[in-house]
Chain A
Amino acid sequence: MCDANRYAEGSPPRTPVPTVTGMTAAVGLYEPPDGWSDEELVQVPEGVHYEIEDGRLVVSPRPTFWHQEACRRLANVLEEQCPSQYWPVQEGEVRIYDGRVVAELRAPDILVVPRELTRRGAHRGWAHPHEVSLAAEVVSRHSYTPDRTTKVAVYAAWGIPLYLRLETEPEVILYAYRLSGNKTYEKPTEHRDLFTLEDPFQIQIDPGLWH
């Protein structure tokens, strides 16, 4: 199961990456003993969908075509309407480092970040939590719990001012969570019709786009 080429004899012991059971072997990832530094993360094969929680890399299943299509439509709306200093990105990473290693890494379906991070030659390919003005998730069957409960708490604890959750089954509903004082979100507002956002910038989102 171990990718023998990567780990020469005498190197420190590594444990399999916790993941969907059975995919460990398929992905062939073993945890570096000192955590995931930038150099170690480069080894993760492209196309593997991962996040890091408490310093541990967790691999999750790839999303469906519909999920990706739904994300693209949301990114398009945001792109058309965002002021020029912001830009939406799909599956961009938000990272928190502990020294040289990544302690926390989340990849929301959509992130709105400062425009300069998305330009050609930008010096880094991820965002700090404080740079994120909006995070959005399109809920799929593999992500009910994170998108509705656990990631919501993470984004709030990280101070992300606005979180959008798009449900498309059985009915299209957009939920908007706004930060309250104590690093939690207020009860989300529900939108079945045109949703107008005033802050951090003016945007209108029509849930009809996902019908």
Chain B
Amino acid sequence: MTAVTNYYETHLEEEEAVGWTEDELEVVPDNVRYEIEDGILYVSPSPALWHQKFELKVAMMLDSQCPEEWTSVPGAEIRIYEDDKVMQARSPDVMVVPTEATTTEADRNWVAPNEMALALEVVSKSSRSRDRITKAALYAEWGIPLYLRVEGKPAVALYEYRLDAETGQYRTPVQYTDVFETDAPFPLRIDLSALR
């Protein structure tokens, strides 16, 4: 982290030094999980193994059902830029993005909020408040039409948050404990028993 540290300590003293350019983000080591809020970078720990398993399984389930134009990816980044600086960056556990953004030709490593079909978070002890409250508020603010929250404990459950066009917020989430089925943004069935 030394390079990042030095960068930040130098720049914190400058009034206008908020936000991260792509070159500066290149300096962040690969294994560091980070998010950017209001131009400030925060690092977070790696989640538990059961969480990783859920994340992988649900990403595969989604991907097998995505129509051609959509692709499910784990651990990718949503970014909001101001000029050439990243002011916001979030990494939902799984997201469904346009297939054209995932081609080798496109060679992209982020998507904008308005490109996304859905975001999904697997809730762990270290992310309860974030996944249940703050990220739900943020994804709604960004206009992500569907947010799925998967709880692993005490029993597996999925919560479906749908954007209300009038309020711009998510409606009260609907809970599923067995099978989640929907037609929007495309026909999708998630059998929660397969996640255990």
Contacts and interface: CB of A to CB of B under 8 A. Distances in A.
A23 B5 CA distance: 7
Contact of B138 (A16, A149, A157): A149
A183 B154 CA distance: 23
B38 A153 contact: no
A26 B133 CA distance: 30
B196 interface: no
B42 A54 contact: no
A176 interface: no
A146 B18 CA distance: 16
B172 A182 contact: yes
Interface in A172-207: 182, 184, 187
Contact of A150 (B9, B12, B138): B138
- Number of contact residues on A: which range applies? 35 or more
A67 interface: no
A18 interface: yes
A100 B31 CA distance: 32
A58 B42 contact: yes
A150 B34 CA distance: 17
Interface stretch (B54-62, B68-76, B112-120, B121-129): B121-129
A18 B42 contact: yes
Given A149-B137, A187-B167, A22 B6 contact: yes
B149 to A, nearest CB: 13
Contacts of B39: 141-142
A152 B12 CA distance: 27
A145 B128 CA distance: 19
Contacts of B38: 141-146
A142 B126 CA distance: 23
A61 B167 CA distance: 32
Nearest to B8: A22
Contact of A153 (B1, B42, B133): B133
Contacts of A146: 37-38
A142 B36 CA distance: 11
Given A18-B42, A18-B43, A149-B137, A56 B126 contact: yes
B128 A54 contact: yes
Interface in A1-56: 15-16, 18-26, 53-56
B40 A142 contact: yes
A16 to B, nearest CB: 8
Interface of B: 1, 4-9, 12, 18, 28, 34, 37-45, 88, 125-130, 132-138, 141, 167, 169, 172
30 contacts: A15-B45, A16-B43, A18-B43, A18-B44, A18-B45, A20-B40, A21-B4, A21-B41, A21-B43, A22-B4, A22-B5, A22-B7, A23-B9, A54-B129, A55-B126, A58-B42, A60-B40, A61-B40, A141-B18, A142-B18, A142-B38, A144-B38, A145-B37, A149-B137, A153-B133, A153-B134, A153-B137, A154-B134, A157-B133, A187-B167
